[in-house]
């Protein structure tokens, strides 16, 4: 398989796994499950699950074990998008080219649908038959995901982001916010694969951590660049939305040229960490390049 | 210790454990952590943790192992209260006699503070040193809590409750909604203690399940009765709030006399299940009576 085929293969795999774990529409409460399915199955590039499977390739992990962390991480990502879009937060009408959940349904349903995705994520990690023989790995996966999403992770990053509107952050503060808001969930995608057997030795684990840290930050700065440069119909949300809200972003604070240079530097750092993994990490390296150079 | 002293002892124990696990105010983002501490440490009777410890007494469980499930369950309870109070949901200004979180802080902070309590709950279950020697129990605790709080548990119950405003439910529908919205978290308090070593045999586990099911339903019907009869300064929220919102409640649908009779019947069913546990379950039986007969 070439890399494009592989991406399609894994995207189909995660799509099927998400569909399998999400409650179907015959299960009550129907409207809540409809909203959950609408937000989770509404497209998306599935970058985090792709990173889980790609890291698993580099480590020789059975992909059967990687479905649960892939699903759990994507559910937590979907949860955060639904709440970030709420009127009290970023107040967005459009997501992935479709009405946001509170627009397509209503605000209470959007809050609750996302609220229910968190327990579903932990249900998947604690219930998938492919992992039950490895309770120690399950506990690690739960802890990694919980820590990535809490007040000192993704949710804390969103709180700092909201609080920073209209203020001027310095580079360290901005990068700290990015590491929490986006970086932690990118990071956990890579570390979750490493938490499944066969676990890598400590040196390879540290290399993967450095890879993940650099890639997570590159991802968010690239996102900022796209918000300035992209067109609404390509990026699927309102272009310039960050600027309109007077949000702290990398290009706004440091200029487009510096932002691009920082992404290139981070990509180089990330790729250097993959050397010890040899050809097994080719697809992971490919994904890193796609993430740092994507146009949507 | 008599039962009142025991209750105070366990309340002090859970308060200390919550305080220990919640991020302190020196940890960024400060305002988010302030809102989390405000909502979790703002009083409350700690009925669910009391049930965890009381069930542990009946089973001879080391209380050290019960701190983590007690904290995790109380965090999930606090999360649900903060979101239920939001303007898009029940729109309440008062909780436990104090301004609700979105009133004391702001709506975005309330949404995010509660969002961060869910991962914290799972962090506690997967990190408490008292449980690390028992990964199988940890996984069971995670699964029990996740299932109790998801779209087919507490969050689903809240969705059904909102959808039922202004409609007429029959007894079976109303009891189903109660079992999800309130019952599942009461139930998980009891089953979590039973998931820790030494686990009870299957017959005792089933007796505890029946106890928990009856008690959870009695709790919610008693809550309805209090909403009609209680005074605002005793129950700590606006009396008659359910009626004002045209909510389906047991007394509204079936009359106060029938509601009282149903609570008494459920209490009797619950207490009957505790017979095999002998005197070890005395405190658990005491709590069941308090829950079914409380006046706030």
Chain A residues closer than 8 Å to B105 by CB? none
Query: Mean pLDDT across the stretch A40-49?
Result: 92
Quickly state the pLDDT bin for B49 (edges 50, 70, 90).
very high
Predicted local confidence at residue A238, as pLDDT: 59
**CA gyration radius, chain A:** 18
Is B86:B198 a contact under the CB 8 Å cutoff? no
Is A269:A210 a contact under the CB 8 Å cutoff? yes
Predicted local confidence at residue A207, as pLDDT: 98
Partner residue opposite B23 with nearest CB, options A111, A132, A152? A152
Predicted local confidence at residue A157, as pLDDT: 96
Does A88 sit within 8 Å of B106, measured CB to CB? yes
Quickly state the pLDDT bin for A243 (edges 50, 70, 90).
low
Partner residue opposite A143 with nearest CB, options B33, B79, B126? B126
Predicted local confidence at residue A171, as pLDDT: 85
Which of these, B93, B94, B121, lies nearest to B36 by C-alpha position? B121
Lowest mean pLDDT, pick from A51-65, A137-151, A237-251, B245-259 = A237-251
Quickly state the pLDDT bin for B172 (edges 50, 70, 90).
confident
User: Count of A–B CB contacts within 8 Å?
Assistant: 169
Above 60 in pLDDT, residue B234?
Answer: no
Q: Angle at the Cα of A247 (from A246 to A253), degrees rounded to 5?
A: 100
Chain B residues closer than 8 Å to A127 by CB? 143
Q: Cβ neighbours of residue B82 under 8 Å, at least 6 residues apart? A: B39, B100, B101, B102, B110, B113, B114, B117
| Nearest chain B residue (CA) to A128 | B143
> DSSP state, A200?
P
pLDDT tens for residues B183-199? 999 999 999 999 999 99
pLDDT tens for residues A112-167? 999 999 999 999 999 999 999 999 999 999 999 999 999 999 999 999 998 888 78
Q: Cβ neighbours of residue B75 under 8 Å, at least 6 residues apart? A: B18, B21, B40, B117, B118, B120, B121, B124
Higher pLDDT, B272 or A163: B272
| Nearest chain A residue (CA) to B144 | A123
Partner residue opposite B163 with nearest CB, options A31, A118, A156? A31
Mutate to test the interface with B, among A73, A118, A247 (most CBs of B within 10 A): A118
Above 80 in pLDDT, residue B68?
Answer: yes
Above 70 in pLDDT, residue B56?
Answer: yes
Mean pLDDT across chain B = 93
The question of ipTM being above 0.85 is answered as yes
Which of these, A257, A277, A145, A157, lies nearest to A210 by C-alpha position? A277
- Strand segments (E) across chain B: 94-95, 98-99
End-to-end CA distance of chain A: 24
pLDDT tens for residues B195-222? 999 999 999 999 999 999 999 999 999 9
Is B238:B94 a contact under the CB 8 Å cutoff? yes
Predicted local confidence at residue B109, as pLDDT: 97
The tally of domains found in chain B comes to 1
| Nearest chain A residue (CA) to B146 | A119
Q: Cβ neighbours of residue B181 under 8 Å, at least 6 residues apart? A: B154, B157, B158, B160, B161, B220
Predicted local confidence at residue A239, as pLDDT: 59
Q: B184-195 vs B63-84: helix axis angle to the nearest 10? A: 160
Max distance between CA atoms of chain A, in angstroms, equals 52
For B51, the domain range is: 3-293
Tell me the CATH number at A91. Answer: 1.10.600.10
């Amino acid at each position: 398989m070439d890399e494009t085929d592989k991406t399609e293969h894994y995207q189909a795999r995660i799509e099927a796994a998400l569909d399998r774990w999400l409650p179907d529409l015959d299960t009550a409460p129907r409207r809540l499950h409809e909203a959950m399915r609408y937000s989770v199955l509404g497209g998306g590039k599935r970058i985090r699950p792709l990173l889980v499977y790609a890291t698993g390739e580099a480590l020789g992990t059975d992909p059967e074990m990687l479905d649960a962390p892939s699903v759990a991480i994507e559910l937590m990502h979907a949860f955060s998008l639904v709440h970030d879009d709420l009127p009290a937060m970023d107040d967005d009408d459009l997501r992935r080219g479709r009405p946001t959940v509170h627009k397509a349904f209503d605000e209470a349903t959007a809050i609750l649908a996302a609220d229910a995705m968190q327990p579903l994520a932990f249900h998947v990690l604690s219930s998938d038959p492919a992992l039950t023989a490895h309770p120690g790995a399950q506990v690690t996966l739960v802890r990694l995901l919980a820590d990535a999403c809490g007040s000192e992770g993704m949710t804390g990053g969103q709180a700092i982001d909201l609080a920073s509107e209209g203020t001027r952050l310095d580079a360290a503060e901005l990068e700290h916010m990015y590491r929490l808001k986006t970086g932690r969930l990118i990071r956990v995608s890579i570390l979750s694969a490493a938490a499944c057997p066969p676990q890598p030795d400590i040196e390879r684990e540290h290399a993967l951590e450095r890879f993940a840290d650099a890639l997570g930050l590159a991802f968010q700065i690239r996102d900022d660049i796209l918000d300035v440069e992209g067109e609404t119909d390509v990026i699927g949300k309102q272009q310039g939305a960050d600027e309109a809200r007077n949000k702290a972003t990398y290009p706004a604070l440091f200029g487009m040229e510096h932002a691009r240079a920082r992404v290139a530097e981070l990509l180089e750092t990330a790729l250097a960490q993959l050397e010890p993994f040899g050809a097994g990490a080719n697809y992971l390296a490919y994904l890193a390049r796609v993430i740092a150079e994507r146009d949507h």
